[in-house]
Structure 1
């Protein structure tokens, strides 16, 4: 019996990879079930957009936890991508100084936690790997220096600011959308020569840094001297949706915001949230949120990174199914707004109730419920959350330029704005 258990333990990493038949994708993805709480941001501000300025002192920070504990031989590399996240297919010498890959050597073990884990962290650029051109990048983490053993892929951006982006949020011109959607109009102000703005310039607009909302703009409505204007009446109309729901698990001794109960079962900490109701009808209710972000916090320890515990969070939504051919999910930046088996809600037709249990690290979390309509292949929050023009959202605008004859796209402009202000990051 003990020999069998020992053999299974030794084979566990192999079994995990045997079940993982995926290769790297150019998306924010986690390829192993033991990897949790992947964070990627500009080091100047926690949970900021993972974007830094070329040749600056800014750093991209990537961190994650391995719930198997111990020490693993994790390696990483970066790859330059086109504006639509395909491989640029250029030599690493074109976009990297230093080495092509390196081992992650910064790790710490958890302490005073029910569930043991190892916390890993790496920052870029560093003495080993230094990107030297702007654009989209994928950071890839893999095991044992073997790229056939993917662990994490994470998108980040390097900006070579050459144009200025000005934008506004306004009501759509369509009467039926004026109270439910937000329209983004923007202009690109430039001093560099752009031979063909319809071919050389691409602009991507995104809501709350959710890749599912990314909208590509290739044709400006007006081309003026040193200015491209994007204000087509049918473009960049986003559902306002609603303010994000939230919960607080910074403490496991006291029940904080939206926490109904906390209990321990077989060395597992369980957190039951109050049951949620649909917000698709009724008036808009203003409340402060973090536009989908989450923050790892633990009020009962000194180090959030290694003393915050993992808990099973029970989400419950009391709502009838919006359709017969679709699925419901709970999403936020904590899972990169990804619709997969981990974020999928089960449905009890008798109770008219959706529910799911997700393992999450202690902290402050924003979340929302969305419906995937399999007939239209669209993801909608409106069936559960409603949609209002008044909702405070953030919008990111990325401007890409490919010089005539060039072999890659460069990121030459960026703006991050919300209903109240516009800022660089």
Structure 2
């Protein structure tokens, strides 16, 4: 539920109609102000990176093959938890994905250690890994009793073949035939070795004009058992909203230093748009209509789910309800195995809209789209139904989503056009603390704190 751009001191979005001869809607947004917290993230060097080679490994969550679906990486047994574990052999992550192709390729996986900014560390594999540096992914099962066939792959990390020695950021890379020039998917995860304690607070923005819309995160780092000589040089911090790296606030510096405590208390630069609670639908059953599903039926060799027509809510008052902050969980109420007996369903989205926008596009967005703008999730305008529509094949389960707008010639998505923003919205925040000793060649992850804003406002 993060919001992506600000306008002046408060983000105001207007929808205008063009001249009578055009009759098409234009969505406009002003330029970002200098005090927009997300402007802190601009990095000319990063912006210059362009992946001309579609097989170049990206140090982010990315799926390289169209046949790979339903990729999930989470702590063992907890599909809704974020991919963060302690440097402890008893804590593990599990990776799951489906291959929809007709072949049965040989997949391998490997791990890269990364710096706090997700560039690759300068250390070599034997410094952060015990065991094999790459291993075959040989745990797979064929789908059972489904209309759409697929092969489900899974692996747990760390394991007997591959053990972690250092804390920090890691990139899990799955390749075909152990060839790093033929990646299949990449996923980020973090390993923490706790050495500090983090205390946090969430409150409304102190800027009057932004108070109805924004959430501000203050925190303290307590390092009683650790001597930090130069926190301005040695400590890096990251604040994530709902585990979204595309809107991370990075490298804030402490405002106050006192006895073994670093205080991070800002009036701006550490604030997020509150957003709105996520929309939801449930396709765990193909026999019965569930939440936000108007109809579900079989059409040839596919199941089809028609969702209820969605409406713009940016001007509505805030309505509270429980959500899981844009994530999803695969589930099948008619079978015995959620991973291999869940079918793929063609889900039809429909967003009510009087006229098409002329300066951008709308997308379905959330964990179901891997938190990315994807052509598969682009909505196209239907003049007859006066709505934006798209159809996406999704594995049975419970899903959450929002509608976002991407302006032409921009890479900044905006949820506020359709969804609006409220300071009361429940969000998860994660604070990460990295430390680099002057004698080390890598960033240690020494503290993690994740909390919800529920009941904090």
TM-score when scaled to structure 1?
0.91
Equivalent position of 2:345 in the other structure: 311
Equivalent position of 1:230 in the other structure: 264
- How has the CA–CA distance of structure 1 residues 159 and 322 changed in structure 2, closer, same or farther, with 3 Å as cutoff? farther
Distance 1:73 1:39 in 2: 19
Q: Which one of the candidate residues 334, 348, 352 is aligned to 1:300?
A: 334
Distance 2:374 2:79 in 1: 26
Equivalent position of 1:165 in the other structure: 198
Q: Spell out, residue by residue over 1:332-388, the C-alpha distance to the aligned partner (whole angstroms, 9 max, x if none).
A: 112221112122222346765222211110000011111123466422211111111
Q: Spell out, residue by residue over 1:290-339, the C-alpha distance to the aligned partner (whole angstroms, 9 max, x if none).
A: 11111111010011110000011111111357964322211111222111
Higher relative contact order (CA 8 A, sep 6+): 2
Is 1:184 the counterpart of 2:217? The answer is: yes
Q: Which one of the candidate residues 82, 85, 109 is aligned to 2:118?
A: 85
The residue matched to 1:342 in structure 2 has which SS?
Answer: helix
Query: Do 1:69 and 1:109's aligned partners in 2 also have CA atoms closer than 8 Å?
Result: no
Equivalent position of 2:421 in the other structure: 387
Is 1:38 the counterpart of 2:109? The answer is: no
- Counterparts of 1:209-358 in structure 2, within 5 Å, are 209-319=243-353, 324-348=358-382, 352-358=386-392
Structure 1 stretches (4+) deviating beyond 6 angstroms?
none
Equivalent position of 1:371 in the other structure: 405
Which sits farther off after the overlay, 284-293 or 34-43? 284-293
Query: Do 2:347 and 2:392's aligned partners in 1 also have CA atoms closer than 8 Å?
Result: yes
Q: CA deviation at 1:269?
A: 1.4
Query: Considering only aligned residues, what root-mean-square deviation do their CA atoms show, in Å?
Result: 1.9
Distance 1:282 1:21 in 2: 41
The residue matched to 2:218 in structure 1 has which SS?
Answer: strand
Distance 1:376 1:356 in 2: 22
The residue matched to 2:288 in structure 1 has which SS?
Answer: coil
Equivalent position of 1:412 in the other structure: 446
Query: Do 1:248 and 1:256's aligned partners in 2 also have CA atoms closer than 8 Å?
Result: yes
- How has the CA–CA distance of structure 1 residues 28 and 373 changed in structure 2, closer, same or farther, with 3 Å as cutoff? same
Which sits farther off after the overlay, 393-402 or 338-347? 338-347
The residue matched to 2:325 in structure 1 has which SS?
Answer: coil
The residue matched to 2:376 in structure 1 has which SS?
Answer: coil
Q: CA deviation at 1:177?
A: 1.0
Q: CA deviation at 1:275?
A: 1.0
Q: Which one of the candidate residues 434, 438, 445 is aligned to 1:400?
A: 434
Q: CA deviation at 1:404?
A: 1.2
- How has the CA–CA distance of structure 1 residues 336 and 224 changed in structure 2, closer, same or farther, with 3 Å as cutoff? farther
- How has the CA–CA distance of structure 1 residues 393 and 322 changed in structure 2, closer, same or farther, with 3 Å as cutoff? farther
The residue matched to 1:94 in structure 2 has which SS?
Answer: helix
TM-score when scaled to structure 2?
0.85
Q: Spell out, residue by residue over 1:111-147, the C-alpha distance to the aligned partner (whole angstroms, 9 max, x if none).
A: 1100011110001111111121000000000111211
Equivalent position of 1:99 in the other structure: 132
Distance 2:273 2:146 in 1: 41
- How has the CA–CA distance of structure 1 residues 349 and 240 changed in structure 2, closer, same or farther, with 3 Å as cutoff? farther
Distance 2:83 2:427 in 1: 18
Query: Do 1:325 and 1:375's aligned partners in 2 also have CA atoms closer than 8 Å?
Result: no
Gapped regions of structure 1 (runs ≥ 5): 1-18
The residue matched to 2:349 in structure 1 has which SS?
Answer: strand
Q: Spell out, residue by residue over 1:245-282, the C-alpha distance to the aligned partner (whole angstroms, 9 max, x if none).
A: 00000110111111112233331211111110011012
- Counterparts of 1:40-119 in structure 2, within 5 Å, are 40-68=73-101, 71-119=104-152
Gapped regions of structure 2 (runs ≥ 5): 1-51
Query: Do 2:302 and 2:345's aligned partners in 1 also have CA atoms closer than 8 Å?
Result: yes
Query: Do 2:175 and 2:185's aligned partners in 1 also have CA atoms closer than 8 Å?
Result: yes
Equivalent position of 2:7 in the other structure: none
- How has the CA–CA distance of structure 1 residues 94 and 322 changed in structure 2, closer, same or farther, with 3 Å as cutoff? farther
Query: Do 1:70 and 1:117's aligned partners in 2 also have CA atoms closer than 8 Å?
Result: no
- How has the CA–CA distance of structure 1 residues 288 and 105 changed in structure 2, closer, same or farther, with 3 Å as cutoff? same
Query: Do 1:20 and 1:32's aligned partners in 2 also have CA atoms closer than 8 Å?
Result: no
Equivalent position of 2:157 in the other structure: 124
The residue matched to 1:384 in structure 2 has which SS?
Answer: coil
Query: Do 1:44 and 1:58's aligned partners in 2 also have CA atoms closer than 8 Å?
Result: no
Identify, as 1 or 2, the structure richer in helix. 1
Aligned residues: 404
